[in-house]
Amino acid sequence: MSSSPRPPSEVAADRVEAAVAARIAPSPDFLARVERIRSELPERVREVARARSSPLVRALVAGSAARGTFLADRLDIDLFLLFPPDLPRDRLREEGLALGRAVLTDPETRYAEHPYLRGRYEGFSVDAVPGFAIADPSHPLSAVDRTPFHQAYLSERETPALVAQVRLAKQFLRGLGVYGSEARTEGFSGYLVELLVLKYGSLRALLSAAHRWRIPARLMDPRDEAPRLPEDIALVLTDPVDPHRNVATALSRRNLGVFVVAAGAYLENPAESWFEVCVPSPLSRAEAVERATRRASHVTVVELPRPDLVDDTLYPQIRKAEGAIADEVRRAGFEVLGSGSAADTVRVVVALEVAHRLRSPVRRRDGPPAGIDRVGEFLAKWSSGDPSVVQGPFVREDGSLGVETRWPEREVEAVLRAGFDRLSLGRNLTPSEPGRAGVRPLSEATDSPALAEALRQVLGKRLPWLDRS
């Protein structure tokens, strides 16, 4: 009995994925170079450690460079320098940076949970990251301490065929702009991608499952599910080396939503263009003004000085500030259509689109239900000839009291300036002096890279694959 023919979309997907897999795979010579450095670099560190009597416990290359799951055009080598758990953190930083400087050229100090080095080794970019050599990955002392356990878990399970599927999945996510767990991106980490491909067996199987996910997606044993999740959690996948950790904490709901929608669209219409990296174009101020005019809406811009922070520390604060500003405008009676935020080397920008620049001149104020003690207080306050009262007090249809007053300010910028100093922004974003925040309409805003990116988020919203040929 002959088997039924496969759907044309599956045949097309086979062809597309084979072509892309060949294109993004590192060459055998390149893989051999990486493998040599994977062995050589830790040995160089151990030699330096012995010479300076450093308390180094272990040095290893881990991550995609160690497992071959990196993409041909995207490789940073992660070198982990692990020290005794009882070593003071000051000494950890001192020793880690000293060993990194001894083996890397052009070292540059970067900052995450604690300082690390980025430098070069035989033409490769290398991050030398200090951490602790722990025995139990469920009790880490720093953010990188689980890494050797992740390395062992995946290395024991990934076959060459699975490695090729991991690369495909990473490239697919890059094409959507949702690959990378940095705070600025809020996407899929490399470790999360590898676990998902390991769970489902291939990119296609992952997409077939994902296009039916509901957010928040729970990819765990129902017996282990938390009864309630934080409202910002998009996906739950337990770390196999630490049952108390969710691997997908950094992933935003928006980015997971993009992936879920893309999964279904790709399965219906597979093409190599899905794997192309397209950087979205920032939106110029002039074009944004034109779009807002066509939409008959209004965009207001808040500009703050950028604090001296790395992106991973800064961007969570930027998003908190964006939310606080939008909430303040919403509470003040404006209809918020959207918001966006970004930072460049000088400034932080939040852009806010509202339906109208002017709010209604009349403000509705709610009073207590009839029959309770506070009625007298409400009446006394609003029956005393207050010039702001335009109507009332009166009793509404539901039996509660109300009054209508005149807003003192109607323009969104004036309202926001008046209430700005009481907003709870990120710890490092709250201006040290009143008035340091610039609040102005888009037409008067200063052109900058941060403004262009924030405007793209507000007025350039579109699924990333729709404009591809």
Given 275, 306, 335, the domain boundary residue is: 275
The answer to the question of residue 57 being in a domain is: yes
77, 130: one domain = yes
415, 317: one domain = yes
The answer to the question of residue 254 being in a domain is: yes
The answer to the question of residue 153 being in a domain is: no
Q: What is the mean pLDDT of the chain?
A: 92
pLDDT on residue 234: 94
246, 167: one domain = yes
289, 349: one domain = yes
Distance CA 172, CA 103 (A): 35
Q: Is a pLDDT exceeding 70 seen at residue 149?
A: yes
pLDDT on residue 110: 86
Contacts of 131 (CB under 8 A, 6+ apart): 80, 81, 82, 83, 92, 141, 142, 143, 144, 145, 147
Given 250, 275, 300, the domain boundary residue is: 275
342, 444: one domain = yes
96, 234: one domain = no
Region 167-173: what's the mean pLDDT?
98
Least confident segment among 169-183, 212-226, 356-370, 405-419: 212-226
pLDDT on residue 341: 97
pLDDT on residue 231: 75
pLDDT on residue 223: 58
CATH of the domain at 172: 1.10.1410.30
- At 7-35, the pLDDT tens digits run 888 899 999 999 999 999 999 999 999 99
Chain CA centroid to CA 136, Å:
28
Chain CA centroid to CA 143, Å:
17
Chain CA centroid to CA 279, Å:
16
Q: Could you give the angle at the alpha carbon of 23 between the alpha carbons of 22 and 27, nearest 5°?
A: 75
pLDDT on residue 43: 97
Q: Could you give the angle at the alpha carbon of 155 between the alpha carbons of 31 and 206, nearest 5°?
A: 95
Given 105, 120, 144, the domain boundary residue is: 144
Q: Is a pLDDT exceeding 60 seen at residue 226?
A: no
177, 294: one domain = no
CATH of the domain at 70: 3.30.460.10
Please say whether the beta carbons of 352 and 329 come within 8 A. yes
334, 197: one domain = no
Chain CA centroid to CA 192, Å:
14
Look at the chain and report how many structural domains it folds into.
4
Contacts of 463 (CB under 8 A, 6+ apart): 258, 261, 262
Q: Is a pLDDT exceeding 70 seen at residue 227?
A: no
Cα dist. 28→35, 72, 155 in Å?
Answer: 10, 11, 19
Higher pLDDT, 97 or 433: 97
332, 451: one domain = yes
Residue 391 φ then ψ, to 5°? -165, 135
326, 433: one domain = yes
Q: Is a pLDDT exceeding 70 seen at residue 314?
A: yes
Cα dist. 387→291, 332, 390 in Å?
Answer: 40, 20, 8
Cα dist. 237→64, 211, 247 in Å?
Answer: 20, 17, 6
Q: Which residues pair with 405 in a beta bridge?
A: 363, 389
**H/E element, 235:** strand 235-236
Please say whether the beta carbons of 365 and 349 come within 8 A. no
The answer to the question of residue 85 being in a domain is: yes
105-111 and 400-406 beta bridge pairing: unpaired
Domain that residue 378 falls in: 369-402
pTM over 0.85: yes
pLDDT on residue 134: 96
pLDDT on residue 74: 84
Q: Is a pLDDT exceeding 70 seen at residue 337?
A: yes
Q: Which of 295, 372, 359, 370 is nearest to 333 (CA)?
A: 359
Distance CA 458, CA 316 (A): 18
pLDDT on residue 229: 65
The answer to the question of residue 151 being in a domain is: no
- At 427-463, the pLDDT tens digits run 888 876 666 689 999 999 999 999 999 999 999 999 9
Q: Which of 209, 210, 267 is nearest to 8 (CA)?
A: 267
The answer to the question of residue 375 being in a domain is: yes
How much of the chain exceeds pLDDT 70, in percent?
Answer: 96
109, 185: one domain = no
pLDDT on residue 258: 97
Q: Which of 100, 125, 237, 132 is nearest to 181 (CA)?
A: 237
The count of residues in the chain is 469
Torsion of CA 235, 239, 245, 250, to 10 degrees: -40
- At 373-429, the pLDDT tens digits run 889 999 999 988 889 999 999 999 999 999 999 988 899 999 999 888 888 888 888
The answer to the question of residue 234 being in a domain is: yes
Q: Is a pLDDT exceeding 60 seen at residue 2?
A: no
Identify the three-state secondary structure at position 329: helix
CATH of the domain at 312: 3.30.70.590
The answer to the question of residue 376 being in a domain is: yes
The amino acid present at 391, given as its one-letter code, is Q
pLDDT on residue 58: 96
200, 218: one domain = yes
pLDDT on residue 421: 84
